[in-house]
Structure 1
Amino acid sequence: MRNQFASIIKPTFNFRSLQNQTLTVKIVAIILGTCFLTLSSYVVVPMIPIPMTMQTLAVTLVGALYGWRLGGITIVAWLIEGALGLPVFNGGSGGIHRFVSPTAGYLISFPFAGMLMGWLAEKGWNGSRILLAFIGMLISTSICFLFGAIWLSSIIGYQQAIALGVMPFLAGDIVKCALGALTLRILTKNEKK
C-alpha cells in the first residue's frame, strides 16, 4: 500500500530530460526560468554599492536543473528582458543602463556561472551527489564574485571592490550554495541516475 501512495506523489518530470523535450516544452521552461530569476531579484537586502539578492542561487539552480545549454539560454533571455526595460533585476529595476552600473559585472557573470553549474550537473555534480553539487555551486558563485569584483574595481578600485562587492556576501552565498544543493537533492531525489 505504501508503494502505491509513493508512486502517486512521486514527481514524473525529470529535469535532466529537458534537453530531449519538444521546442514548446523548452520555451515554457525558459519562460518559467526567467520568472524564477525575476522572483529571486525581488528578494533584496539593500547594501551599497551592491544589494544582496537571491540571484546567485537562482542562476546556479537554473543551470543545474536545465543543463548548460538551456540554462545559459534561459539566463541570457532574462538578461535581455532586463536590458529591454522589463523590471526583472534587483528591486524591480531594468534597462540597458544596468549593464554599466556597479552591478554590471555580476549580471554579465550570470550566464557563465549558470552554464558552468549546468555542465557540472551534467557530469554528476547534481542532487544525487549533494557534496559535489554544493562544491559546484561554490565554484559557479565564485565566477560571479570574480566578474563582479573586476567590474566594480574599475569604478571604485580593487580594495574597495573586494571590501564592498565580495566580502559582505561570502557567508550568505555559502548558505545559498548549501540551500541550492539541498534543493537539488529534493527536486531530483526520485530521478533515475
Structure 2
Amino acid sequence: MTQTTFAEAFVPLKLANRSLAYKALAVLIGTAFLAVSSWISVPMFPVPVTMQTFAVTLVGALYGWRLGGLTVVLWLLESFIGLPVLAQGVPGPVAFAGPTAGYLVSFPIVAAFVGLLAERGFTRNPFTAFGVMLLGNALCLVLGAAWLASIIGLEQAWDFGVAPFIIGGVLKSALAAATIEMLRRSGIRLS
C-alpha cells in the first residue's frame, strides 16, 4: 500500500493540475460567485446578514487553501478599488474601516482554513464537511466580533455581531456541505 502525500490527499476540482489560464478563469468565476452571494443581503445593524460566508467556505473547500484564499483576497481587492462587490454595494476603503472590517479580513483566512481541511480529506462526506463549514463560520464570527468589540465593546459585539448569526451560520454550513455532496454525486470529481 502506498502512502498518500499531503498534496495528493485531496485536490479540489483538480485546479492545481490546470493551466494558469484555467486557474485565472476559476478565480474570476469565484470572485463573481462571492459578489453575487454578497448581494443576497438582509440589512441589520451594524452587520448585515449575507450569503458571503456560504460562498467563502465553499470556495475554500472547492479551490483548496491557496487558490481559495487568493480568490477571496482578489474579491476583497475588487471592493477596495471601488467595485460594488460587497454586501449592500459598499465599495472601497469604507467597508474596511467600519464594523464589518473584521469579518472581511477573516474571509481569506476562513477560505484558506476550510481549503486546508478539505485538502486533508475532511470534506469527503457530508457530516465532516458540515463540521468543516461550521468551523469556518465560527472562525469568521470570532475574528469579526474581535474587531467589532474594539469598536462597540464585547457585550454589544456578541449581541449584534455573533448571536444573530449563529443560526444562519449553521444553515449556511449545512447548505455548503450539501452543495459539496451534490457536486460529488453529480460526477464532478472532488477527491
Q: Specify if TM > 0.5.
A: yes
> Would you say 1:154 and 2:184 are equivalent positions?
no
Q: Deviations over 1:11-55 (max 9, x none)?
A: xxx843001100000000000000000000100011100000000
Distance 1:73 1:38 in 2: 15
Higher RCO (CA < 8 A, seq sep 6+):
2
Q: Deviations over 1:128-178 (max 9, x none)?
A: 311111000111111111111110011110000001000001011101100
Kindly indicate whether the alpha-carbon contact (under 8 Å) linking 2:56 and 2:111 is maintained by their aligned counterparts in 1.
Answer: yes
Deviation at 1:93, TM superposition (A): 1.6
2:53 corresponding residue in structure 1: 56
* % identical aligned pairs: 49
Q: Which amino acid aligns with 1:168?
A: P
Kindly indicate whether the alpha-carbon contact (under 8 Å) linking 2:83 and 2:92 is maintained by their aligned counterparts in 1.
Answer: yes
Q: 1:71 aligns with which of 68, 71, 93?
A: 68
Q: Which amino acid aligns with 1:91?
A: Q
Stretches of 4+ moved more than 6 A in 1?
none
Deviation at 1:192, TM superposition (A): 6.7
1:132 corresponding residue in structure 2: 128
2:7 corresponding residue in structure 1: none
Q: 2:160 aligns with which of 144, 158, 164?
A: 164
* Structure 2 unaligned blocks of 5 or more: 1-10
Q: 2:180 aligns with which of 179, 184, 187?
A: 184
CA RMSD of aligned residues (A): 1.2
* Structure 1 unaligned blocks of 5 or more: 1-13
Point out the more displaced range, 138-147 or 62-71.
138-147
Deviation at 1:79, TM superposition (A): 0.6
Kindly indicate whether the alpha-carbon contact (under 8 Å) linking 1:40 and 1:55 is maintained by their aligned counterparts in 2.
Answer: yes
Q: Structure 2 length normalisation: TM-score?
A: 0.91
Distance 2:34 2:41 in 1: 13
1:118 corresponding residue in structure 2: 115
Larger radius of gyration: 1
Distance 2:157 2:142 in 1: 10
Distance 1:70 1:185 in 2: 21
> Would you say 1:91 and 2:84 are equivalent positions?
no
Q: Which amino acid aligns with 1:108?
A: V
Q: Sort the Cα spacing of 1:192 and 1:67 in 2 relative to 1 into closer, same or farther, 3 A.
A: closer
**Helix, strand or coil at the partner of 1:120:** helix
Q: Sort the Cα spacing of 1:49 and 1:26 in 2 relative to 1 into closer, same or farther, 3 A.
A: same
